[in-house]
A and B are shown apart, each in its own frame.
Chain A
Amino acid sequence: MAAHASTYEPKTRFGKWMDDRLPVGRVMHSQFVDFPTPRNLNYLWTFGGILTFFLMAQIVTGIVLAMHYQPNAEMAFDSVERIRRDVNYGWLMRSLHAVGASMFFLAAYIHIFRGLYYGSYKAPREILWIIGVLIFVVMMATAFMGYSLPWGQMSFWAVTVITNLFSSLNSIVEGLGTGIVEWLWGGYSVTGVTLNRFYSLHYLLPFVIAALVGLHIWALHVVGQNSPTGLDVKTRADSVPMHPYATSKDAFAMFVFLILFAWFVFYLPDYLGHADNYTPADPLVTPPHIVPEWYFLPYYAILRAIPSKLFGVIAMFASIGVLLFVPWLDTSSVRSAKYRPLYKWFFWLFVFTCLALGYLGSKPAEGTYVMWARVFTVYYFAHFLIVLPLLGLIETPKKLPASISEAVLTKDKPAVHAAAAKKA
Chain B
Amino acid sequence: MKRPAAISHTAMALVILLAFAAAGTAQAAGDGEAPHIKRYDWPFAGLAGQYNTQQLQRGFQVYQQVCAACHSLNRVRFRNLTEPGGPQFPVEAVKALAASWPYTIAKKFDTEGKLIERLPTMADPVIGPYKSEEEAREAQNDRVPPDLSLITSARSVENHAPWYLHVPQMAWDIVTGYQEGGADYLTALLTSFKDEPPAGFEVSEGLYYNAVFPGHQLGMPPPLSKDNFIEYQEDAGAKGSFEQNARDVTAFLYWSADPNLDARKRLGWQVLVYLLITTVLLYAVKKHIWGRLKAKPSETESA
Contact = CB atoms under 8 A, between A and B. Distances in A.
Interface in A233-283: 236-237, 239-241, 244-245, 248-249, 251-252, 255-256, 258-259, 262-263, 265-271, 274-276, 278-279
Interface in B272-300: 272, 275-276, 278-279, 282-283, 285-286, 289-290, 293-294, 297-298, 300
Interface string B107-133: 000000000000000000000000000
B214 A288 contact: yes
Contacts of B259: 85
A396 interface: yes
A91 interface: yes
A342 interface: yes
Contacts of B166: 359
Contacts of A349: 11, 14-15
B1 A268 contact: no
A349 B278 CA distance: 37
A368 interface: yes
19 contacts: A39-B300, A81-B149, A91-B260, A236-B300, A241-B303, A248-B286, A255-B279, A259-B279, A266-B264, A266-B271, A270-B153, A270-B179, A271-B173, A278-B153, A341-B8, A342-B4, A345-B8, A349-B15, A368-B26
A233 B14 CA distance: 38
A57 interface: no
B47 interface: yes
Contacts, number: 142
A240 B289 CA distance: 11
A309 interface: no
B4 A259 contact: no
B29 interface: yes
Given A39-B293, A267-B265, A341-B4, A368 B28 contact: yes
Interface of A: 39, 81, 84-85, 91-92, 95, 236-237, 239-241, 244-245, 248-249, 251-252, 255-256, 258-259, 262-263, 265-271, 274-276, 278-279, 288, 341-342, 344-346, 348-349, 352, 356, 359, 366-369, 371-372, 375, 395-396, 409, 412
A244 B214 CA distance: 58
B199 interface: no
Given A266-B267, A278-B150, A278-B154, A252 B25 contact: no
Interface string B88-121: 0000000000000000000000000000000000
B154 A279 contact: yes
B294 A412 contact: yes
B182 A275 contact: yes
Given A262-B275, A349-B11, A375-B18, 11 more contacts: A39-B300, A85-B260, A236-B303, A248-B290, A266-B268, A268-B178, A270-B153, A275-B182, A278-B154, A368-B29, A409-B297
Given A245-B290, A271-B174, A256 B4 contact: no
B289 A236 contact: no
Given A241-B300, A275-B153, A369 B29 contact: yes
Given A236-B300, A349-B15, A356-B22, A255 B154 contact: no
Given A252-B279, A255-B278, A262 B301 contact: no
B5 A341 contact: yes
B155 interface: yes
A372 B163 CA distance: 12
Contacts of B14: 349
A368 B25 contact: yes
A248 B289 CA distance: 8
A367 B28 CA distance: 10
Nearest to B26: A368
Interface string B1-40: 1011101100110110010001001101100000000000
B257 A278 contact: yes
A278 B253 CA distance: 14
Nearest to B1: A396
B75 interface: yes
A236 B75 CA distance: 64
A288 B282 CA distance: 48
B285 A248 contact: yes
Contacts of A236: 300-301, 303
B221 interface: no
Interface in B230-274: 257, 259-260, 264-265, 267-269, 271-272
Interface in B171-204: 173-174, 177-179, 181-182
Nearest to A289: B158
Contacts of B283: 252
Nearest to B163: A359
B156 interface: yes
A396 B2 CA distance: 10
A342 B2 CA distance: 11
Contact of B75 (A85, A256, A345): A85
B42 to A, nearest CB: 14
A81 B75 contact: yes
Contacts of B26: 368-369, 372
B15 A396 contact: no
B154 A275 contact: yes
A265 B272 CA distance: 11
9 smallest beta-carbon distances between A and B, as pairs? A266-B268, A275-B156, A278-B154, A267-B177, A345-B11, A278-B153, A252-B282, A255-B279, A368-B25
B255 to A, nearest CB: 12
Contact of A263 (B22, B163, B178, B272): B272
A271 to B, nearest CB: 6
A343 B263 CA distance: 50
Contacts of A84: 260
A270 B285 CA distance: 35
A262 B272 contact: yes
Nearest to B257: A278
Contact of A342 (B7, B18, B178, B272): B7
Contacts of A249: 286, 290
Given A85-B259, A240-B300, A255-B275, A366 B154 contact: no
B272 A259 contact: yes
